[in-house]
């Protein structure tokens, strides 16, 4: 070693700081500020447990001697205050050891940083000294002791006497908590997908949201202003989950996912005046109930009440009862009753007769319901509101389902419906996807609901919002994940004083906040445990940066993507 300031090994320069003193009382983890930085460093901590009997005996002897000195010496002497401190400290330590069962340790902490450039090494040392000083920790550079300091950071348990004399400080058992080193906010799930890097320390963030042992559910909320990066992040999730073979269903109200769907070989389902793909809202699907469950018609009727709430406005209890009566009559006209056997028809195959579940052409359509409502004076007002759906601009909703959806990636493009009518198609697609999600509990799947505020905001109603909440509440047991995406946070919490928005937020184990405006942060503050620091951070996040709540972890994350992923996501949008 030719220089006392550092040690050089394989063209890398190492230098160590010795922690020599601490605040008398620590109320925080003293190493947190160091570990949360992105500085190259190694931290060595040594604890030496002292003999309890010997320590108490020595303390008692010391207390007796100092007590005599304090009584006999002149009270104006300059060192009398220091003697009083050591006297009180010794009494406190003895009391904690004798009464509260504490034990005494000697503590040694060494911080080693390294770089392949000497100027950078000096910069890192100065930065570390500033951080340590800000936490009330005094340090000294290990000049002429760099080799011993380097050895102290190796896993060989060598704490040289050259260092110990400078670093030794005593600490009680309770104080050891302040030195706990494993406090970096990082998530690294063994079978997770890469999300990005921790902004503070560049550690990788891998999340396996389907890990039921670690997370209560696999649901995600993604909030952010336009251009903050939430759409790119969502598409990145879709891309990476596609590679894992996870079934994914996307509600696309802004025509953002079509190119990605094409690039990944998914199925694009377009609903609108210019499309030729249709969904029949009256379809009862075999997968809408699990095996051994009963009540196909009852299940469908409750859903349809929610759908017609969107069309007819908020219905009172009497109106709901009348509509339910008409829906039951409508299905009865198609030989479908509350007897689940009525949903099956038999098909002769040579010798055996095999029951077949009825298909869309065995179901009523909106026009059938329109005609039925017109036969009763009590329901003619509802018939009038169905005119656009049967004879007008929305008559494409009055059709039998004509699409086969066997793909593991399906995007429902509802862009053509316009702002006022989006909610109808969004509800129909979510109903379709929800039935598919319930089909097999052993298959991982996800449903993405972009601009979810349209379904649980002030323009929606309790029945629809309850349906969406039910999905978030129960999808876990079907092996599924619900993803809520929005930039209109105030609208998300506008229905029923935010009841449904709050419920969905609380039932999402992973919450992702991209940059938000001040007014949206204030709304979010009411429903989450955002700290003052986090509120400032959300407001100042750059594009592609987010604050993630992953279980109990709060992590500032930079979303990372490979070039080929960017080409698929961004390049596809340029076509």
246 assigned to some structural domain: yes
464 assigned to some structural domain: yes
Beta strand 193-198 with 204-207: parallel, antiparallel or unpaired?
A: antiparallel
Q: Show the CA angle centred on residue 476, arms to residues 479 and 538, nearest 5°.
A: 115
Beta strand 545-550 with 553-559: parallel, antiparallel or unpaired?
A: antiparallel
The residues near 7 (Cβ < 8 Å, ≥ 6 apart) are: 1, 13, 14, 15, 146, 147, 149, 150
- Kindly tell me if the per-residue pLDDT of 184 is higher than 80: no
* Residues 421, 454 share a domain: yes
Residue 27 binned pLDDT confidence (cut-offs 50, 70, 90): low
Domain coverage including residue 385: 278-402
Tokens at 404, concatenated: 């086969």
Q: Can you give the CATH number for the domain in which 557 is found?
A: 3.40.50.300
* Residues 365, 474 share a domain: no
* pTM for the predicted model, two decimal places: 0.73
Give Cα 521 to chain centroid, integer Å. 17
* Residues 304, 382 share a domain: yes
The residues near 245 (Cβ < 8 Å, ≥ 6 apart) are: 408
What's the confidence (pLDDT) of residue 552? 83
> Exposed/middle/buried for 155, CB within 10 Å: 0-12, 13-18, 19+?
exposed
Q: Dihedral of CA 202/204/207/211: which sign? A: negative
- Give mean pLDDT, residues 541-564: 93
What's the confidence (pLDDT) of residue 328? 97
Q: Can you give the CATH number for the domain in which 368 is found?
A: 1.10.8.730
- Kindly tell me if the per-residue pLDDT of 26 is higher than 70: no
What's the confidence (pLDDT) of residue 574? 43
302 assigned to some structural domain: yes
What's the confidence (pLDDT) of residue 228? 93
Q: What percent of the chain clears pLDDT 90, i.e. is strictly above it? A: 64
CB 114 within 8 A of CB 121: yes
* Residues 410, 398 share a domain: no
Max mean pLDDT among 43-52, 70-79, 453-462, 525-534 falls in 43-52
* Residues 431, 303 share a domain: no
185 assigned to some structural domain: no
* Residues 106, 239 share a domain: no
Last residue of a domain, one of 133, 162, 179: 179
1 assigned to some structural domain: no
Q: How many C-beta atoms surround the C-beta of residue 230 within 10 A?
A: 24
* Residues 498, 417 share a domain: yes
C-beta contacts of 390-393 below 8 A and 24+ residues apart: 390/366, 393/273
Write down the mean pLDDT value for the chain: 89
The domain tally of the chain equals 3
Which has more confidence, 573 or 427?
427
* Residues 557, 446 share a domain: yes
CA distances from residue 520 to 38, 486, 490 in whole angstroms, order as listed: 31, 11, 6
What's the confidence (pLDDT) of residue 418? 82
* Residues 141, 121 share a domain: yes
189 assigned to some structural domain: no
Q: How does pLDDT run across 70-106, given as a tens digit for each residue?
A: 666 655 555 676 777 778 888 888 898 889 889 999 9
107 assigned to some structural domain: yes
Tokens at 502, concatenated: 């709050």
The residues near 85 (Cβ < 8 Å, ≥ 6 apart) are: none
211 assigned to some structural domain: no
3-state per-residue secondary structure call for 275-318: CCCCCCCCCCCHHHCCCCCCCHHHHHHHHHHHHHHHHHCCCCHH
Last residue of a domain, one of 365, 382, 402: 402
* Residues 226, 358 share a domain: no
What's the confidence (pLDDT) of residue 575? 37
What's the confidence (pLDDT) of residue 125? 95
| Dist CA 548 CA 531 (whole Å) | 13
* Residues 362, 249 share a domain: no
* Residues 371, 325 share a domain: yes
Q: How does pLDDT run across 465-479, given as a tens digit for each residue?
A: 899 999 999 999 999
Which has more confidence, 92 or 548?
548
Last residue of a domain, one of 371, 402, 433: 402
- Kindly tell me if the per-residue pLDDT of 145 is higher than 80: yes
């Amino acid at each position: 070693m030719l220089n006392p300031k550092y040690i050089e090994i394989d063209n890398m320069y190492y230098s160590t700081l010795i922690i020599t003193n601490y605040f008398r009382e620590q109320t925080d983890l003293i190493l947190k500020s160091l570990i949360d930085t992105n500085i190259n460093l190694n931290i060595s901590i040594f604890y030496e447990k002292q003999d309890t009997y010997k320590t108490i005996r020595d303390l008692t002897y010391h207390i007796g001697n100092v007590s005599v000195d304090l009584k006999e010496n002149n009270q104006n002497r300059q060192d009398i205050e220091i003697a009083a401190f050591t006297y009180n400290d010794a009494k406190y330590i003895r009391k904690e050891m004798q009464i509260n069962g504490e034990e005494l340790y000697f503590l040694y902490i060494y911080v080693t940083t390294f770089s392949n450039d000497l100027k950078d090494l000096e910069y890192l040392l100065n930065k570390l000294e500033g951080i340590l000083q800000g936490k009330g920790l005094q340090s000294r550079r290990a000049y002429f002791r760099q080799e011993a300091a380097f050895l102290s950071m190796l896993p060989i348990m060598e704490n040289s006497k050259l260092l110990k004399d400078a670093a030794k400080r005593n600490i009680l058992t309770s104080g050891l908590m302040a030195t706990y080193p494993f406090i970096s906010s990082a998530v690294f799930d063994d079978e997770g997908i890469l999300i990005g890097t921790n902004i503070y320390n560049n550690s990788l963030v891998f999340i396996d949201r389907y890990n039921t042992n670690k997370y209560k559910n696999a649901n995600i909320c993604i909030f952010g202003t336009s251009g903050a990066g939430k759409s790119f992040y969502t598409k990145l999730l879709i891309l990476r989950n596609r590679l894992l073979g996870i079934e994914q269903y996307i509600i696309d109200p802004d025509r953002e996912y079509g190119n990605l769907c094409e690039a990944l070989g998914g199925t694009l389902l377009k609903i609108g005046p210019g499309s030729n793909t249709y969904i029949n809202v009256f379809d009862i699907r075999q997968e809408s109930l699990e095996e051994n469950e009963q009540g196909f018609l009852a299940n469908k009727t409750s859903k349809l009440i929610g759908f017609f709430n969107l069309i007819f406005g908020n219905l009172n209890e009497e109106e709901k009862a009348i509509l339910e009566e008409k829906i039951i009559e409508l299905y009865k006209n198609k030989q479908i009753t509350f007897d689940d056997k009525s949903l099956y028809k038999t098909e002769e195959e040579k010798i055996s007769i095999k029951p077949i579940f009825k298909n869309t052409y065995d179901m009523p359509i909106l026009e059938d319901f329109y005609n039925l409502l017109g036969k009763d004076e009590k329901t003619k007002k509802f018939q009038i509101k169905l005119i656009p759906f049967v004879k007008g601009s929305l008559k494409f909703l009055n059709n039998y389902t004509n699409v086969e959806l066997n793909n593991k990636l399906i995007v429902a493009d509802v862009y053509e419906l316009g702002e006022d009518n989006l909610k109808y198609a969004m509800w129909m697609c979510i109903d379709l996807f929800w039935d598919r999600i319930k089909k097999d509990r052993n298959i991982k799947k996800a449903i993405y609901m972009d601009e979810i505020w349209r379904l649980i905001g002030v323009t929606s109603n309790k029945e629809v919002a309850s349906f969406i909440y039910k999905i978030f509440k129960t999808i876990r047991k079907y092996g599924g994940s619900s993803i809520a995406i929005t930039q209109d946070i105030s609208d998300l919490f506008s229905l029923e004083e935010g009841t449904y928005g709050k419920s969905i937020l609380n039932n999402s184990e992973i919450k992702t906040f991209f940059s938000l405006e001040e007014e949206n942060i204030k709304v979010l503050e009411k429903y989450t445990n955002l700290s003052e620091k986090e509120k400032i951070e959300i407001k100042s996040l750059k594009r592609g940066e987010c604050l993630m709540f992953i279980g109990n972890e709060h992590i500032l994350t930079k979303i990372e993507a490979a070039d080929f992923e960017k080409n698929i996501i961004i390049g596809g949008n340029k076509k």
